[in-house]
C-alpha cells in the first residue's frame, strides 16, 4: 500500500471499484452469478475456503491480485523460506517454515545450513517426550513425572495452549498438562492445586530468558517445590526452552534439560519449535509430526499457487479489502468446535501483534487503516451472546467461521451435523438477512449484506490443525507485506515491558514518587492510591 500522496494506479482503481460494488448487495451478487459459490471458493490442501459471501466480484479479485503481484509477495515468500533477513528492523530471518521442512532440506542462514540443528532439537524433543509418556523420566525422589506445567507468556504460551485444547482427544490419558502465564499469584496457585511436587515438571519457555513474568513464575514454582524437594534436586524438575542457553545454565538448569529455540523464530510463529515441547509430550511425537506435516503442506502450497487458488493469499487480500477499502475495523473468528475455543485468542496475538503497526517499511504515511481487531468465540455459544450485534448492529463486522465435517465418535455425528447446520444458517442469514421472509414486523427484519468467510475441514486432527495454523500465519505475513509493514517485530510491546520494570521498582519506594519529573501526574496519583490502599 502506498501513502495517500503516493498511491499507485491499482490502489486508486480499487478505491474507485469499491464505490461501485458497495452499491450492490450480496443478494444481487449471487443473482448475477449462479455459480458464485464455486467461483469464489478454493480447495487448499484439505481446507475448503469459501469467500463467496464477501462483498467482492471477479473484478475485485483481479485488482487485489494485481496489488499482491505488485508487492512481489511470491518473491517475498521464496526469500523468507530460503532464510533471507526479511525481518528488516531486527535484521533477522523469519524461518518458522524451516522448523517443519523435510529433514533432507538445505536452508542457509549466513552460509550455514540450519536444518541439522533443527533436526537435532526435534529428535531430542522426541526422545524426551517418549521418556515422560512411558513413565521413564523420574523426578529427584525417584517418582515418575506425571504432571507437566508450562510456564511462559505470549507466543511462549498461546500457541501450545491453543493446540493442546484443540487436540485434547489425542492427549496422553495419564499425563496432566497445565499452563500458567499470568503473574497474578492466583493463577499459579490454581494451576498447581492438586499437583504433587515430586511428580511435576516445569517447562520454562523464554527466548531471551529474561522475560520478567516468566522468571517470576519460575521462582514461585521453585518455592512450591522446595516444600517437598531438597534444593539440590530442583534441576530435575525444570526444563528450559530458550535461545539463551548460558542464561538458563546460570539459573541452575542442567544442560541436558535445555532445548534450543532459534533466535530467528518469533514467539507467535514458534509452535513448531521447541516451544511446542509441551504439546509433543501431550499428543506424542508421531502426532506432533503430523502437525508439522500439515504446516509444511500449506507452506509449499502458499509459495507455489496463484492467488485465485491460494487460500492464504486470497484471505490476505480479502483482509486488506475489508479493512482498507470497505473500512471494517474488526473481524470475528467463530470456530464451530468447543475444542477450538482458544483459537481466537491465539489469532489475536498472531494477527494483531504482527499487523498492529503505524510505520511502513518505506517510511511513507498510510493512506488508510491497516490491520483489524480480531475477536471471537465458539459457534453456538456466540449465537446466544454477540450474534445479535452481528446481525442488526450499526457496525458491520466481517465473520470467519470454521467448521469440521466429521466427529471423532461416529455416534456423535448427529451433533456434528447440527453444528454445521448452525454455521451455514448464520452465514446465510448474515449475507441475505430476512429477505426470503415476508410480512415481518420492523424489529424482526434483518438487512443482511454482512460479509463472512467459511473455512471447512474434514476433521480436527493434528494434520488439519497444522494446515490451519500455517494458513493463518502466511495470510498474516502476506497482509503485512502488501500493506508494507514488518509483520515480525513488536516494538510497542517491548517499550511497555521496560516501563513496567521501572514502575515496579518505584512501587516499593514511596520517596521515588515525589519526583514529579519522572512520571506523569496520572501515574503518580495512581501509585499513591495503590500504596494507600495497602496502608503503606
Catalytic residues: 353, 384, 497
| 92 three-state secondary structure | strand
- What values do phi and psi take at 398, rounded to 5? -60, 140
Q: For residue 421, count other CB atoms closer than 10 A to its CB.
A: 11
Q: Three-class SS of residue 333?
A: strand
Instruction: Give the separation between CA 455 and CA 330, rounded to whole angstroms.
Output: 18
Strands 399-404 and 330-335: parallel
Cell of 355: 499487523
Cβ neighbours, 10 Å, residue 400: 23
User: Scanning the structure block, which residue is given the C-alpha cell 500439515?
Assistant: 294
CA distance 277 to 327: 40
Residue pair 217/225 in contact by the 8 Å Cβ criterion: no
Rounded (10°) angle between helices 311-320 and 285-304: 70
Strands 200-205 and 147-151, bridge-based pairing: parallel
Do the bridges between strand 112-113 and strand 238-242 make them parallel or antiparallel, or are there none, so unpaired? unpaired
- Separation between Cα atoms, residue 332 and residue 342, nearest integer Å: 13
**CA–CA separation, 304 vs 321, rounded Å?**
23
Cα angle 75, 357, 524 (rounded to 5 degrees) comes to 155
Return d(Cα 118, Cα 82) in angstroms, integer: 15
Which residues face 151 on adjacent strands?
180, 204
The grid coordinates listed for 345 are 485468542
Report the greatest alpha carbon distance in the chain. 78
Amino acid at each position: 500500500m502506498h501513502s495517500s500522496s503516493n498511491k499507485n494506479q491499482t490502489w486508486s482503481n480499487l478505491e474507485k471499484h469499491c464505490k461501485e460494488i458497495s452499491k450492490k448487495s450480496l443478494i444481487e451478487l449471487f443473482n448475477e452469478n449462479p455459480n458464485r459459490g464455486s467461483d469464489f471458493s478454493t480447495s487448499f490442501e484439505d481446507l475448503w475456503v469459501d469467500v463467496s459471501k464477501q462483498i467482492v466480484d471477479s473484478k475485485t479479485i483481479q485488482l487485489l491480485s494485481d496489488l499482491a503481484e505488485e508487492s512481489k509477495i511470491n518473491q517475498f515468500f521464496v526469500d523468507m523460506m530460503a532464510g533471507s533477513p526479511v525481518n528488516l528492523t531486527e535484521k533477522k530471518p523469519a524461518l518458522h517454515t524451516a522448523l517443519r521442512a523435510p529433514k533432507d532440506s538445505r536452508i542457509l542462514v549466513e552460509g550455514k545450513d540450519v536444518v541439522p540443528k533443527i533436526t537435532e532439537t526435534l529428535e531430542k524433543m522426541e526422545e524426551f517426550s517418549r521418556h515422560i509418556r512411558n513413565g521413564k523420566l523420574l523426578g529427584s525422589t525417584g517418582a515418575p513425572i506425571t504432571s507437566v506445567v508450562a510456564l511462559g507468556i505470549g507466543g511462549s504460551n498461546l500457541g501450545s495452549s491453543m493446540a493442546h485444547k484443540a487436540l485434547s482427544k489425542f492427549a496422553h490419558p495419564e499425563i496432566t498438562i497445565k499452563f500458567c502465564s499470568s503473574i497474578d499469584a492466583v493463577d499459579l496457585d490454581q494451576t498447581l492445586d492438586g499437583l504433587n511436587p515430586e511428580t511435576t515438571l516445569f517447562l520454562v519457555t523464554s527466548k531471551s530468558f529474561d522475560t520478567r513474568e516468566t522468571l517470576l513464575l519460575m521462582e514461585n514454582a521453585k518455592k512450591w517445590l522446595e516444600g517437598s524437594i531438597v534444593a539440590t534436586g530442583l534441576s530435575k524438575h525444570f526444563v528450559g526452552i530458550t535461545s539463551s542457553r548460558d542464561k538458563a545454565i546460570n539459573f541452575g538448569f542442567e544442560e541436558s534439560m535445555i532445548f534450543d529455540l532459534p533466535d530467528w523464530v518469533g514467539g507467535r510463529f514458534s509452535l513448531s519449535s521447541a516451544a511446542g515441547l509441551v504439546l509433543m509430550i501431550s499428543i506424542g511425537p508421531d502426532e506432533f509430526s503430523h502437525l508439522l506435516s500439515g504446516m509444511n503442506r500449506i507452506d509449499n502450497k502458499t509459495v507455489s499457487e496463484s492467488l485465485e487458488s491460494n487460500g492464504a493469499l486470497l484471505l490476505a487480500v480479502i483482509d486488506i479489502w475489508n479493512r482498507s477499502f470497505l473500512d471494517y475495523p474488526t473481524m470475528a473468528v467463530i470456530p464451530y468446535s468447543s475444542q477450538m475455543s482458544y483459537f481466537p485468542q491465539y489469532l489475536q496475538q498472531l494477527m494483531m501483534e504482527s499487523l498492529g503497526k503505524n510505520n511502513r517499511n518505506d517510511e511513507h504515511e498510510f493512506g488508510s487503516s491497516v490491520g483489524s481487531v480480531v475477536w471471537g468465540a465458539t459457534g453456538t455459544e456466540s449465537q446466544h451472546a454477540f450474534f445479535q450485534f452481528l446481525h442488526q448492529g450499526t457496525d458491520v463486522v466481517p465473520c470467519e467461521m470454521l467448521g469440521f465435517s466429521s466427529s471423532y465418535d461416529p455416534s456423535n455425528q448427529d451433533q456434528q451435523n447440527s453444528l454445521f447446520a448452525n454455521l451455514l444458517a448464520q452465514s446465510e442469514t448474515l449475507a441475505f438477512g430476512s429477505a426470503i421472509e415476508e410480512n415481518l414486523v420492523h424489529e424482526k427484519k434483518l438487512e443482511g449484506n454482512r460479509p463472512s468467510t467459511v473455512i471447512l475441514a474434514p476433521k480436527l486432527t493434528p494434520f488439519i490443525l497444522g494446515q490451519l495454523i500455517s494458513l493463518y500465519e502466511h495470510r498474516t505475513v502476506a497482509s503485512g507485506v502488501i500493506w508494507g509493514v514488518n509483520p515480525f517485530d513488536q516494538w510497542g510491546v517491548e517499550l511497555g515491558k521496560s516501563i513496567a520494570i521501572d514502575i515496579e521498582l518505584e512501587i516499593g519506594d514511596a520517596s521515588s514518587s515525589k519526583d514529579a519529573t519522572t512520571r506523569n501526574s496520572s501515574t503518580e496519583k495512581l501509585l499513591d492510591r495503590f500504596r494507600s490502599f495497602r496502608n503503606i
